[in-house]
Amino acid sequence: MNLPDPVSAAESPRALAEVNRWLGGRTAGERIAWALQSLSGAHALSSSFGAQAAVSLHLVTQLQPDIPVILVDTGYLFRETHYFAGALRERLALNLKVYRPQRSAMWSEERVAGLRELGNDGIARYNHAHKVEPMQRALRELGVATWIAGVRRSQSRSRADLDFIELRDGRWKLHPIADWSDRDVWQYLQRFDLPYHPLWHEGYVSIGDTHSTGRWQPGMREEDTRFFGLRRECGLHASA
């Protein structure tokens, strides 16, 4: 198998498109193996320990058991998310790196309670302080050259055109399960006896902070359950 050259891909949009086409013909495991082998520098996997997080955690750590796993603890995660992260950390022997917002930038509970009324601009400010800045700090402090994330095209309209690999802020960002469906996720979890997030069984299909995550209701899209239906992205994987 002729492996694509990441140096050429970094220098040419056309070459990068060719790499993405090549990755489209590979399995998720093969995509991860190629990245670990071909992309120089430190690698890391991010996880929100959301509904289906066990898939990416298992896929990646089977190939690099000691890879840093970055969790941004916003200060407003569900208690069940902390439990889930602890259980998966023990089961998969995760090299977990927890990052939190800077104390001076943290929003109070009173301010967070009015987040919906602040609209998109307010949500964006909250997300930058509690999610984006801690992640950027983690990537910088860990010297990450390749960031692996478990986002998928089917999760929202804003992710529909997601590439398998992109250059973002001077580093590689790999999405090895970008083309997976919910059925693919379910089959993988079943195959390896991996759990969903505990709140999945209570009707939560996309799980973030307590104040901006809702249960799925008939007629809703997955993305409608986050941020009061005003937006899908927090800024970690897309700007809107």
Q: Could you tell me the CATH number of the domain that includes residue 81?
A: 3.40.50.620
**pLDDT tens per residue across all 240 residues of the chain:** 566 777 677 768 889 999 999 999 999 999 999 999 999 999 999 999 999 999 999 999 999 999 999 999 999 999 999 999 999 999 999 999 999 999 999 999 999 888 888 888 899 999 999 999 999 999 999 999 999 999 998 877 777 889 999 998 899 999 999 999 999 999 999 999 999 999 999 999 889 999 998 898 888 888 788 777 776 555 676 644
What residue numbers bound the domain in which 84 lies? Answer: 6-229
224, part of any domain:
yes
User: What is the structure's pLDDT at 235?
Assistant: 60
206, part of any domain:
yes
133, part of any domain:
yes
Q: Up-side HSE of residue 231: CA atoms within 13 Å toward CB?
A: 17
- Answer for the pair 141, 42: CB distance below 8 angstroms, yes or no: no
User: What is the structure's pLDDT at 227?
Assistant: 79
- Answer for the pair 53, 18: CB distance below 8 angstroms, yes or no: no
Active-site annotation holds for 234: yes
- Answer for the pair 222, 155: CB distance below 8 angstroms, yes or no: yes
User: What is the structure's pLDDT at 7?
Assistant: 67
User: What is the structure's pLDDT at 240?
Assistant: 45
Distance of CA 184 to the CA centre of its chain: 17
9, 69, 234, 236: which is the annotated catalytic residue? 234
End-to-end CA, the chain: 38
**Residues with Cβ < 8 Å from 104, sequence gap 6 or more?**
none
Total number of domains constituting the chain = 1
- Answer for the pair 39, 180: CB distance below 8 angstroms, yes or no: no
144, part of any domain:
yes
117, part of any domain:
yes
pTM for this predicted structure? 0.90
User: What is the structure's pLDDT at 233?
Assistant: 56
235, part of any domain:
no
- Answer for the pair 222, 233: CB distance below 8 angstroms, yes or no: no
**CA–CA distance from 81 to each of 16, 78, 137 (Å)?**
36, 5, 22
The amino acid at 19: V
240, part of any domain:
no
72, part of any domain:
yes
d(CA 210, CA 204): 11
- Answer for the pair 210, 199: CB distance below 8 angstroms, yes or no: no
To 10 degrees, the CA torsion angle through 219, 220, 222, 227?
Answer: 180
